[in-house]
Structure 1
Amino acid sequence: MLTHTKPDYFVHERALCESPRIGKGTRVWAFAHVLPEAQIGEDCNVCDNVFIENDVRIGNRVTIKCGVQLWDGVTLEDDVFVGPNATFTNDIFPRSKQYPEKFDRTVIRRGASIGANATILPGITIERGAMIGAGAVVTRSVPPNAIVVGNPAKIVGYVDAKAVPAEEPVRARTVEPDKRVATTAVRGVTLHRLKEAADIRGSLSVGEFEKEIPFAPLRYFLVYGVPTAETRGEHAHRECHQFMLAIKGSVHVVAFDGTTREEFVLDSATTGLYLPPMTWGIQYKYSSDAVLLVFASHHYDSADYIRSYDEYVELASRPHA
């Protein structure tokens, strides 16, 4: 008989729930143990054999599957999913009977998912919408919507963004054959097939500014020597336009307009990607020999950058953005 049903939430008779800070509609199942200072939001599902320590903050609509321990310093925001036997840690150098003055805070942001048996090291942030693969060992913070797997965990993709060679959509979606420009699913982002001249002496690729390249640049920069595990970009510009070319090797570029996300593989000196202002851009999966050339419409100005994903999403949702 289940005797511990509360007016607003449910606790199984074989669970030990010492905290009164439990939200409406939450269910705490058999053999779970919730310590007195823990906070759990509304409509959560705490499954069998879950342990939740005192300094743990859990948002609304969170699912915590069987065998998970949440130690002091862990925050799970709204709509987080934690798979069976996922492991959280809160002390990077644990010693018996030696306790840190303060535990590093580990934050799992809204809508993120953690696969079964994943291990999350302390003091990191897994950002909104990210997905952690089963068995992954996460040793550093994960950007929004990234998919990470392995030990140590590495980014292998982004949610809702299937990687395609940039030349493929140029051929398939060209809307201005004379200019060889293709639209994409991301607002304002276009792919450009540049002119090429090739003979026995070699090849030449050319693009004219304000014709093939849709603005006159005031700046350029080259990105090279990037370790394959590293991610660059992860920001938007308020005013600056950008045009990207992989002049050597290959680079994956993810573009996001606040609603739609698409991923492109730049691997040809004859194919460029145009990113207008207010486009969230990410570059990752650099090949070992990759050289990325970027033309920018403005001089460098730190105030032009939007580096907070939350701020970007809020700005992009405005009608005038």
Structure 2
Amino acid sequence: MTERPVDCIISENAQIAEGVTFGPRVVLAGDGIVLRQNVRLDAACVIGADVTIGQGAWVKAGAVVLRSVPPNAIVEGNPAQVVGYLDGGSQRRPDPKHIDIRAFSHLPRPSKVDLGVGESALFLMRRITDARGALTVGEVPTEVPFSPARYFVVFDVPTLELRGEHAHRRCQQFLICLHGTCRVLLDDGQSRCEVTLDRPDMGVFMPDMIWGTQYRYSPDAALLVFASRTYEADDYLRTYDDFLAELEKRG
């Protein structure tokens, strides 16, 4: 049974899973609040009505949460926004591994770097620069890991918004930030890493059965995504619980 400090204010119909940690003076202010497993609520945070805090998420002290929080996310501020994600594994470190592109500046191009999250990989693409400008190129399928069946571009994303937040049963994706910056979180159910995409000559390969989230978009960001399959509604795993259940089913 989850222990609740006596100085917390908790709505009677709040759904609270096992392993939730309450700091002092936490307020669950309204109906329809759901706290998933192993959520951490720090001191004096306020959770608004109809908000779901995803499993393993951390709400920092004084945060005012007015919209649902993804699994394993770290939120702070008023109104609260995602500022990072927790690492996987038993240690629950406050940040997943962040991939620093500068660590691979010595590698020839094209190169592929294993990210340690399933079969996810960072691709360093060729870049050609002369007096007329710069060009980056990748050949399919020798330098891009699959032949795309479709593409889409994500742009004009408000800074507070998250994109992705799903996995695919079969579809593979390849992400390139053509302009601006965004962060890509990759999660295989055990390990997580983040990559900051901030140049058009690098891409992230996200295979099937990887939970993907993109956030911290700059106002000018344009994210190009190649997909290995046409749109199939039943290919999406749209909740983290469904994703974990599918992983368990596959063994």
Residues 302, 206 of structure 1: CA spacing in aligned structure 2 closer, same or farther, 3 A cutoff?
same
Q: Deviations over 1:94-125 (max 9, x none)?
A: xxxxxxxxxx3211111101110001111211
Q: Does 1:76 align with 2:16?
A: yes
Choose which of 196, 215, 220 in structure 2 pairs with 1:284. 215
What TM-score comes out, normalization by structure 1 length? 0.73
Residues 137/70 of structure 1: CA separation in 2 closer, same or farther (3 Å cut): same
User: Secondary structure at the residue paired with 1:63?
Assistant: coil
Larger Rg: 1
Structure 1: state its 5+ residue gaps.
1-59, 91-103
Matched, 1:181 2:107: no
Shift of 1:318: 4.0
Aligned counterpart for 2:4 among listed residues 64, 68, 87: 64
Name 2:83's counterpart in structure 1: 156
Unaligned stretches of 5+ residues in structure 2? 88-94
Structure 2 match to 1:25 = none
3-state SS of 2:246 partner: helix
What CA distance in whole angstroms lies between the structure 1 residues aligned with 2:6 and 2:40?
15
Structure 1 residue 89, shift from structure 2 partner: 1.1
Q: 2:102 & 2:18 partners in 1: Cα distance?
A: 38
Shift, 1:216, TM fit: 0.2
Q: How does 1:225-236 map to 2 (within 5 A)?
A: 225-236=156-167
Are residues 1:114 and 2:54 paired?
no
Specify the alignment match of 1:167 in structure 2: 101
Contact 2:109 2:125 in 1 (8 A): no
Conserved 8 A contact 2:15-2:33 = yes
- Measured in 2, the distance between the counterparts of 1:151 and 1:289 equals 24
- Quote the offset at 1:63 in angstroms: 3.0
* Paired AA for residue 5 in structure 2: K
8 Å contact 1:133–1:147 — kept in the other structure?
Answer: yes
Specify whether residues 250 and 163 from structure 1 end up closer, same or farther in structure 2 by C-alpha distance, changes over 3 A only. Answer: farther
Q: CA deviation at 1:151?
A: 0.2
Match in the other structure for 2:25: 85
When residues 163 and 184 of structure 1 are mapped into structure 2, their CA distance, relative to the original with a 3 A threshold, is: closer
1:136 is aligned to 2:67: no
Partner of 2:53: 126
**Cα distance in structure 2, aligned partners of 1:70 and 1:230:** 28
- CA drift at 1:245: 0.3
Q: Percent identity between the aligned chains?
A: 40
Code of the aligned partner of 1:261 = R
Aligned partner of 1:296 in structure 2 is 227
Aligned partners of 1:170 and 1:191 also within 8 Å: no
Per the TM alignment, residue 187 of structure 1 is displaced from its structure 2 partner at its CA by 0.9
Distance 2:114 2:7 in 1: 48
* Alpha-carbon separation, structure 1, partners of 2:97 and 2:116: 13
Q: 2:58 touches 2:73 (CA, 8 Å); kept in 1?
A: yes
Q: 1:290 to 1:166 in 2, by over 3 A?
A: farther
Shift of 1:178: 6.3
Q: Distance in 2 between matches of 1:221 and 1:151?
A: 33
Name 1:237's counterpart in structure 2.
168
SS of the residue 2:68 aligns to = coil
**Is 1:258 aligned to 2:192, yes or no?**
no
Q: Provide the rounded CA distance (Å) in 2 between the counterparts of 1:81 and 1:169.
A: 37
Distance 2:10 2:172 in 1: 44
Which of 274, 279, 300 is the matching residue for 2:205? Answer: 274
- Report the counterpart of residue 311 of structure 1 in structure 2: 242
Structure 1 residues 166, 242: CA separation in 2 closer, same or farther (over 3 Å shift)?
Answer: farther
